[in-house]
Amino acid sequence: MPTPSDSLIEYPCQFPIKVMGHNVPGFVEAMLQLAQQFDPALDPATLEQRPSKAGNYLGLTLTVQVHNREQLDALYRALSAHPLVKVVL
């Protein structure tokens, strides 16, 4: 049986994080700025964007370089706490 410290992710790695939030001015920039606090080398050109059918929401895929589980968890918490964010996967 795996222990809690076992992980299927091998660090360091490029890890895609999906963020769904309100499609408002500044959302993309805010998410990039937040993610770059955890991965300063994050290239904005790698960001993928997908608007919802009605255009009210915007889905982003940020691929960040993570070095350990703690860094990844902290990034998820920071993104989830942002007021414009609805879901982080």
> Exposure string (b/e) for 34-67, b if CB count within 10 Å is 16 or more?
bbeebbeebeeeebeeeeeeeeebbbbebbbebe
Task: Name all domains of the chain by residue range, CATH numbers in brackets.
Answer: 13-88 (3.30.70.260)
Q: What confidence score (pLDDT) does residue 56 get?
A: 97
**Predicted local confidence at residue 76, as pLDDT:** 98
Residue located via tokens 């998410």: 31
Q: Is 0.75 topped by the overall pTM?
A: yes
Q: How many CB atoms lie within 10 A of CB 19?
A: 25
pLDDT per residue as tens digits for the range 22-62: 999 999 999 999 999 999 999 999 999 999 999 999 999 99
Q: How many residues does the chain have?
A: 89
Category of 86 on φ-ψ map: left (φ > 0), alpha (ψ -120 to 50) or beta: alpha
Identify the pLDDT of residue 50: 98
